[in-house]
C-alpha cells in the first residue's frame, strides 16, 4: 500500500517537473518555476529515501542541487541542463511505471535498467564547471531525453544489486 501511494505521488511530481521544464525553456530565469522544480525533486528525494531506494535518492539529490544552484544564481539553466533534467525525469518515470506494473501484477521484469550513473556524472560536471550561461538568446526547445543519444543508447542491463524494490525486482547494473 505504501508503494502504491509512492507511485501515485511520484506521477504527480513527475508531471510537475515536465511542465516546469517546458516553462523554463521559454523563460530560464523564472524563479517561481525553478522553485517548483526544486521542491518537486526535493519531495521525490525524500520519498525515495523513505523507501530506501538509494540510487534514485542520489539522482534526485544531484538534480535538486543543480536547481538549487540556479535558485542561488550560481548556475544559469540552459538547453543542456534542461536535457539532463528531462533525462532524469524520464529515468524516474520509467522506474515508477515499472514499479506500478509490478505492484499491479502485470510486470514481467525483475530489472529496471536506467542510465543513472551517467546522469549523476553529467549533473556533477555541470555543477563543477559552475558555468553561467551566455547572455540570453532565442533558444531552441530542449529535446526530450528519449531522443538524446546519451540516454537512448543505454542497453538493458542484467540483474545486479542496485536500488532495491519490493519483492524480487532490482534496479539494473546500469543504476550503480
pTM of the model: 0.74
Residue 18: name the closest of 68, 79, 85 by CA: 85
Q: What pLDDT was estimated at residue 148?
A: 27
Q: What dihedral do alpha carbons 166, 171, 172, 176 form, nearest 10°?
A: -130
Higher pLDDT, 113 or 13: 13
Residue 72 contacts residue 130 (beta carbons within 8 Å): no
Q: What is the mean pLDDT of residues 1-23?
A: 94
Q: Is the pLDDT of residue 149 over 70?
A: no
Q: What pLDDT was estimated at residue 138?
A: 39
The grid coordinates of residue 3 equal 508503494
- In this structure, what DSSP letter does residue 58 have? H
The grid coordinates of residue 93 equal 518515470
Higher pLDDT, 3 or 40: 40
pLDDT tens for 59-114 read 999 999 999 999 999 999 999 999 999 999 999 999 999 988 888 888 776 677 89
Q: What is the mean pLDDT of residues 8-34?
A: 96
Q: What is the mean pLDDT of residues 148-155?
A: 28
H or E element at residue 152: helix 149-152
Q: What pLDDT was estimated at residue 131?
A: 66
Amino acid at each position: 500500500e505504501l508503494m502504491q501511494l509512492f507511485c501515485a505521488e511520484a506521477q504527480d511530481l513527475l508531471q510537475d517537473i515536465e511542465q516546469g521544464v517546458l516553462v523554463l525553456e521559454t523563460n530560464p530565469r523564472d524563479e517561481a518555476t525553478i522553485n517548483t522544480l526544486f521542491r518537486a525533486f526535493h519531495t521525490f528525494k525524500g520519498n525515495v529515501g523513505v523507501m530506501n531506494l538509494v540510487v534514485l535518492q542520489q539522482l534526485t539529490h544531484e538534480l535538486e542541487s543543480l536547481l538549487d544552484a540556479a535558485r542561488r544564481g550560481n548556475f544559469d539553466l540552459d538547453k543542456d541542463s534542461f536535457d539532463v533534467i528531462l533525462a532524469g525525469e524520464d529515468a524516474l518515470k520509467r522506474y515508477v511505471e515499472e514499479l506500478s506494473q509490478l505492484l499491479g501484477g502485470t510486470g514481467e521484469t525483475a530489472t529496471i535498467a536506467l542510465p543513472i550513473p551517467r546522469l549523476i556524472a553529467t549533473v556533477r560536471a555541470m555543477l563543477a564547471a559552475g558555468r553561467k550561461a551566455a547572455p540570453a538568446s532565442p533558444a531552441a526547445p530542449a529535446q526530450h531525453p528519449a531522443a538524446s543519444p546519451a540516454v537512448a543508447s543505454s542497453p538493458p542491463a542484467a540483474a545486479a544489486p542496485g536500488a532495491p524494490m519490493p519483492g524480487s525486482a532490482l534496479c539494473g547494473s546500469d543504476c550503480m
